[in-house]
Amino acid sequence: MPDDLTDVSAAYASAAEMLRNRIVKNLRRLRRWSRSANVTCYRVYDADIPEVPLIVDLYQTIEPEEQTHLVISVYRRRSLPVGDALDTWLLAMRQYAAEAVATSPEYVHFRRRERQRGSQQYEVLPGKSQRHIVMEDGLQFWVEFDQYLDTGLFLDHRPTRREVRSQSSGKRMLNLFAYTGAFSVYAAAGGAARTTTVDLSKTYLNWSADNLRLNGFEPGTHRLVHADVMEFLSTHHNAYDIVICDPPTFSNSKRMHDVFDVQRDHPALLHAVERILSPQGTVWFSTNSRRFKPDPGTLGYFEEISGSSVPQDFRNRKIHRCWRYQRQGRRTA
């Protein structure tokens, strides 16, 4: 990608100005809220303008030093330029987005996202790797901007994490498909009696351990399990009061015995979860699949809470769908 704006056409500069102006406008509303909520990472632009179909997330790091980083997600759209023209277009977006938040263009990071098909897998991206600490609701998390498809913290689940923390005191919590363990940190901060964090990636489990330690929680009462979730559920018999289940839309990891597809597999997954749920237990189930159709025999007795589970900084209110099931209040036919 070029390093300056010499070759940026007037048309690209115009679109970049629209992006900058909208970010500045959104920040007027979001900065006061973020300070009061103790949140230093949030969405500042959510494809607001049709001519600029990008997602822009802001991360104000507190360590190793205070910096403002932007992560710009680029999805394949017919309206975008192609080839070298796209690189030039993105250069303009980087420059003007950096100006909007008064940071250096070197702190603007791009993610080009494609839909997975067949045997495709997301892999570690080339480039440097440096972790930074950000804050959410007074808790601290490690994030990484250059080497992975995602930063390590899914911003869209902030309200659900808060709800889990508020209900965790004295509870046994199970975090499935845990990624970097943010839900486990929230549960521990809420006074959970113990947490169990399950993921198939050793990298993410180590990241989870680091997040727990960063907030003063040591392994012991906070167990980390390297396992395929379906295998774990089939062989595990302990009861849990809270279960977080946020599976990928699709996964074909080489460490799995079978491909996981959330549409096909969510009934078996949730029936297995119900087997280990305590009599007064609660399950949160979420998916980012745009084409997901809930099985009425499984999710029919869950309460959909998608309207309240999407945070206020997300213009796209369909970023995920979320359901909650409380066994004590289960409706019967």
Tell me if 236 sits within 8 A of 105, measured CB to CB. Answer: no
Q: What single DSSP character describes residue 294?
A: -
The per-residue pLDDT for 63 is 95
The per-residue pLDDT for 117 is 45
Strand 41-46 relative to strand 54-61: parallel, antiparallel, unpaired?
A: antiparallel
pLDDT bracket for residue 258 (50, 70, 90): confident
Closest CA to 53 of 91, 19, 28, 27: 19
Q: Could you give the CA distance from residue 267 to residue 250 in angstroms, rounded to a whole number?
A: 15
Q: Could you give the CA distance from residue 104 to residue 232 in angstroms, rounded to a whole number?
A: 45
Tell me if 113 sits within 8 A of 149, measured CB to CB. Answer: yes
> Where is average pLDDT lowest: 57-66, 104-113, 177-186?
104-113
Helical segments of 63-181, H only: 84-100, 158-166
Q: Could you give the CA distance from residue 81 to residue 71 in angstroms, rounded to a whole number?
A: 20
- b/e burial code for range 71-95 (CB count within 10 A of at least 16 → b): bbbbeeeeeeeeeeeeebbbbbbbb
Quick check: 119 pLDDT over 60? no
Kindly report the CATH class assigned to 155-329: alpha beta
**Which CATH code is given to the segment(s) 1-153?**
3.30.750.80
Question: In the structure encoding, which two tokens stand for residue 83, read together?
Answer: 């080839």
- If phi over 0 gives left and psi between -120 and 50 gives alpha, with beta otherwise, what is residue 59? beta
- For residues 261-274, average pLDDT: 96
pLDDT bracket for residue 291 (50, 70, 90): very high
3-state SS class at 156 = helix
Strands (E), 239-308: 240-245, 250-251, 260-261, 277-287, 303-304
Q: Could you give the CA distance from residue 257 to residue 275 in angstroms, rounded to a whole number?
A: 22
Cα R_g (the chain), whole angstroms: 21
The per-residue pLDDT for 120 is 37
Domain locations in the chain? Answer: 1-153, 155-329
- Polymer length in residues for the chain: 333
3-state SS class at 123 = coil
Question: In the structure encoding, which two tokens stand for residue 39, read together?
Answer: 């949140």
Question: In the structure encoding, which two tokens stand for residue 265, read together?
Answer: 């597999």
